[in-house]
Structure 1
């Protein structure tokens, strides 16, 4: 799956992790929980 630019910008924040679950791409951030995103 191509990762959207909006997810790339969130991924570069400190504490972010890119996780693939059930075919969807998620970005989770324990330091700043507002930065949760999903693609797919």
Structure 2
């Protein structure tokens, strides 16, 4: 999992990426390619 300042650029890397908010943090998760994970905050 990558921790980034700007998450918008990571979201464009794969078309199945989803942006999820959990406990005040913003996550990017991907069901088809689980390696595409990122967190902000």
TM exceeding 0.5:
yes
CA RMSD after TM alignment: 1.3
Compute the TM-score of the two structures, normalised by the length of structure 2: 0.73
Gaps of 5+ in 1: none
TM-score by length of 1: 0.74
Higher relative contact order (CA 8 A, sep 6+): 2
Query: Which runs of at least 4 in structure 1 moved beyond 6 Å after TM superposition?
Result: none
What is the aligned length?
36
> Structure 2 unaligned runs (5+)?
none
User: 1 or 2, which has the higher helix percentage?
Assistant: 1
